[in-house]
């Protein structure tokens, strides 16, 4: 789960990571009031969306008067910002963050991420901040500093000092840099985060170091024990389909094709999508029903995939271990009987209770296309989709 910049800064402040003074606004009037409250003669108005690259999309503006703050906020509210991370759909701005403008002398990059290869938390830092880490890696790979943290010990002071010196902070700034690094690590550990990113970490004219922009991402599986984090979720920034799936305990990923996939397991989902593409089709999404799915859960998954208007065929591919093929079959039948659909449905079942599952599908009398293997299922769903599309086109032409 992602949260907004202002929320991240509030959390990091509790762990000793400083940032410029700021205030959240839901209207232009609030934005101008916060500028007056903060004081000074220059402010930054930032659109609060779950995406990087806001500045390039017009989501970050520097203002030198309260009226300019009002105008900048007024222009942002309701605007759909399109960045490299949002995709062409973009994200709508419903809130802005007004922050004091500071005199930045130098920008660096700092992040803590979960490194699955080493099963450790890794600090990734660079002397070149203010741009995406992908750009840094491509343009200045030699500037990237990596340090692995042993979870049994935590971030040690000598590691933090080594990183601070490698980032070229002055001796008088090392203590502050170490404090920020330790604060980021503690936030990562204590909040069940999967990423803490400060980009840029700014060195100001007075020698202080502050987080100018920051991101936090959390482990969805740990949210049950972090209710205060769950409350920070902003559903307006999420794909509606993915949000509905998450609310029902399902894992959903939306894509750009037209064949919906219902599977159990991320690995099987990837294989299923690859086979669909090899057969000449394009997946519209995949939905992972997880282990031990009941018929009701399968039916909900089916309805959710079908609610995507781009879906013109559905492939159910289940390799049952913890799951049971008969439960999956009952769920498919339950969904189709409750809400009949006029698009092809292909079901491939294998594993636990596969014989019973196939019998349930056969006895249902529903126009379900059955397949024994994944390759066969992919070929059949693509063929059925093409035939259905041709028939629909002919019917429209006849009308």
- Cite the annotated binding site by residue number: 46, 53-55, 99, 102, 107, 199, 213, 264
Residue 387 burial (CB count, 10 A): 12
Annotated binding-site ranges for Mg(2+): 199, 213
Cβ atoms of residues 263 and 317 within 8 Å: yes
**Nearest to residue 214, comparing CAs of 63, 3, 390?**
3
Region for residue 308 given its phi and psi (left: phi exceeds 0; alpha: psi -120 to 50; beta: otherwise) = beta
Q: Which residues pair with 193 in a beta bridge?
A: 218
Q: What single DSSP character describes residue 283?
A: E
Whole-number CA gyration radius for the chain: 26
Q: SS3 letters for 44-113?
A: EEEECCCCCCCCCCCCEEEECCHHHHHHHHHHHCCCEECCCCCCCCCEECCCEEEEECCCEEEEEEEEEE
State the burial class of residue 384 (Cβ atoms within 10 Å of its Cβ: 0-12, 13-18, 19+): buried
Residue 311 burial (CB count, 10 A): 20
Annotated binding-site ranges for substrate: 264
Q: Which residues pair with 202 in a beta bridge?
A: 107, 210
**Nearest to residue 289, comparing CAs of 311, 276, 272?**
272
- Active-site residue list: 109, 197
Euclidean distance between the first and the last CA atom of the chain, given in angstroms as a whole number: 48
Name every residue whose Cβ is closer than 8 Å to that of residue 359 and which is 6 or more positions away in sequence. none
């Amino acid at each position: 789960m992602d949260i907004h910049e202002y929320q991240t800064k509030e959390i990091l402040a509790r762990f000793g990571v400083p940032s410029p003074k700021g205030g959240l606004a839901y209207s232009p009037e609030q934005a101008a009031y916060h500028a007056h409250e903060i004081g000074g003669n220059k402010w930054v108005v930032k659109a609060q969306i779950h995406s990087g690259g806001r500045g390039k999309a017009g989501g970050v503006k520097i203002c030198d008067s309260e009226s300019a703050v009002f105008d900048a906020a007024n222009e942002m509210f309701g605007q759909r910002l399109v960045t490299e991370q949002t995709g062409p759909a973009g994200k709508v701005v419903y809130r802005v963050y007004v922050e004091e403008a500071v005199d930045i002398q130098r920008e660096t990059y700092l992040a803590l991420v979960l490194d699955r290869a080493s099963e450790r938390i890794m600090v990734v830092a660079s002397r070149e901040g203010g741009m995406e880490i992908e750009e840094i890696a491509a343009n200045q790979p030699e500037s990237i500093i990596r340090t692995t943290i042993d979870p049994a010990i935590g971030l040690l002071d000598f590691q933090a000092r080594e990183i601070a010196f490698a980032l070229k902070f002055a001796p008088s700034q090392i203590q502050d840099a170490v404090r920020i690094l330790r604060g980021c690590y503690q936030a990562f550990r204590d909040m069940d985060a999967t990423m803490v990113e400060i980009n840029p970490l700014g060195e100001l004219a007075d020698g202080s170091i502050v987080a100018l922009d920051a991101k936090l991402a959390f482990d969805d599986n740990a949210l049950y024990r972090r209710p205060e984090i769950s409350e920070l979720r902003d559903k307006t920034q999420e794909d509606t389909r993915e949000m509905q799936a998450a609310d029902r305990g399902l894992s959903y990923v939306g894509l750009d094709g037209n064949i919906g996939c219902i599977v159990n397991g991320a690995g099987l989902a990837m294989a299923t999508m690859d086979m669909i593409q090899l057969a000449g089709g394009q997946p519209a999404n995949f939905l992972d029903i997880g282990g031990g799915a009941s018929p009701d859960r399968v039916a909900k998954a089916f309805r959710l995939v079908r609610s995507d208007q781009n879906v013109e065929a559905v492939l159910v591919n289940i390799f049952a271990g913890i799951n049971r093929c008969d439960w999956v079959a009952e769920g498919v039948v339950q969904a189709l009987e409750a809400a009949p659909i006029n698009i092809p449905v292909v079901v491939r079942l294998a594993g636990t209770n596969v014989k019973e599952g196939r019998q349930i599908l056969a006895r249902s009398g529903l126009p379900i296309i059955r397949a024994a293997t994944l390759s066969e299922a992919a070929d059949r769903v693509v063929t059925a989709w093409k035939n259905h599309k041709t028939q629909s086109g002919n019917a429209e032409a006849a009308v």
